[in-house]
Amino acid sequence: MTSAQRASDVGALAGRRIVLGVTGGIAAYKAVEVASRLKKAGADVRVVMTRAATSFVTPLTFREITGQPVAETMWGEPQHHVAHIALAEFAELVLVAPATANFIAKAAAGMADDMLTTFVLATRAPLIIAPAMNTGMWENPVTQENVRRLAERGATIIPPAVGQLACGTTGAGRLPEPVEIVRVVENHFAHGQSLAGRRILVTAAGTEEALDPVRFLGNRSTGRMGFAVAAEAARRGAEVILVAGPTPLATPMGVRRVDVRSARDMHAAVRAEYDGVDAVIKAAAVADYRPVEIAEHKIKKSDGELTLKLTRNPDILYELGQQKKHQILVGFAAETQNVAEYARGKLAKKNLDFIVANNVAEQDAGFGVPTNHVQIFYADGRAEDHPLMAKAALAGVILDRLEEALRK
């Protein structure tokens, strides 16, 4: 029986060969629970630790949990023949949790100066990285560029959580809880190529409506949620078209990206693809209005008031709902009050199959953060409330619900 067959009979992780990389941050203690959860779920777990990681957790702890030797150095135990190659061939999946800024920089540059980085460079297994570090280090443009480079090469990044850090500051940088990390690993194996043969259109980020050559009307959407959905759909084997407003986010591996700027640009791009797709997941924050006129030159400041005359933009999702044939339509509702009421109204008016709603005024659940807390409302009247989780994990939930709808 193959490992995949065992997984389908017992659980997504049964018999799966996972290498857990542990780097030297205070969050290394959480990796102990990650290893334990993976092992209890039936995975065959091997651990590779950096020298710094052993200052926080002893290798003996991981050896007792996994029942396997722990790799710490190129020159010591375990006594495999060419140990990093043996591990590289063993791995079906590599999970690095926590991943420090130092490890991320080395991996992005292709460095191989210890057991973990050498093994990561040698393996062909999929790579999942869970960063954990000080907020300033995480938000540093160098770290963000390194993360983008790894994502472009196919690595799955579990965004750090927001909260109180060991250094005393509050912000993004916390390692997500072990249960969330393991859920991402489970999703990786559970779904395989479950969307193979499907064409999925995803929209993401905000739109910009020009006022003049310098200024525009826009919103705070970064596109993180839509990009996470596109990446997850591609990982499940779908042909993914990502129509994206202005954002610095890197294109997920295996995704065809169409860049747009205004609501009318997005309208045209979506309509061009609509007839040939099986589903649309519209996560973009599209401007409802645009200026009636765009000034040819920069609008100069004056002593009086400035009045802008606006006109309605096309309602893309409403049009899709009116012309829906076989497609599954998924909408998003970013609200600041009466979330359920407004979401249900949008669900009905736009003829959606389900809608993902969140309160953007809620802490850690709005624009520009790596986490979200949502409710999902269905056309048949059902509703679900999902706890705060990483957007990468939430993307898995949304795609699970999409697969259920496609099977009906």
167 labelled catalytic: yes
Element (H, E) at 290: strand 289-291
Is the pLDDT at 9 greater than 70? The verdict is no
Which among 46, 48, 41 is positioned nearest to 15, based on CA atoms? 41
Which domains does the chain carry? 3-190 (3.40.50.1950), 194-407 (3.40.50.10300)
pLDDT confidence of residue 76: 60
Q: How confident is the model at residue 212 (pLDDT cuts 50, 70, 90)?
A: very high
Query: In the structure encoding, which two tokens stand for residue 51, read together?
Result: 């020298």
Q: Which residue has the higher pLDDT, 155 or 370?
A: 155
CA distances from 17 to 7, 205, 220 (A): 11, 36, 41
pLDDT confidence of residue 4: 40
Contact 246, 284 (CB under 8 A): no
Distance of CA 154 to the CA centre of its chain: 12
What is the three-state SS of 224-286? HHHHHHHHHHHHCCCEEEEEECCCCCCCCCCEEEEECCCHHHHHHHHHHHHCCCCEEEECCEC
Is the pLDDT at 339 greater than 70? The verdict is yes
Helix H segments across 91-140? 101-109, 115-122, 135-139
If you average pLDDT over every residue of the chain, what do you get? 90
Q: How confident is the model at residue 33 (pLDDT cuts 50, 70, 90)?
A: very high
Is the pLDDT at 349 greater than 70? The verdict is yes
- Considering just the CA atoms, what is the radius of gyration of the chain in Å? 23
Residue 59 CB neighbours (<10 A): 17
Of these residues, 86, 137, 167, 253, which one is catalytic?
A: 167
Average pLDDT over residues 63-85: 76
Q: How confident is the model at residue 81 (pLDDT cuts 50, 70, 90)?
A: low
Residue 331 and residue 270: Cα distance in Å, rounded?
A: 14
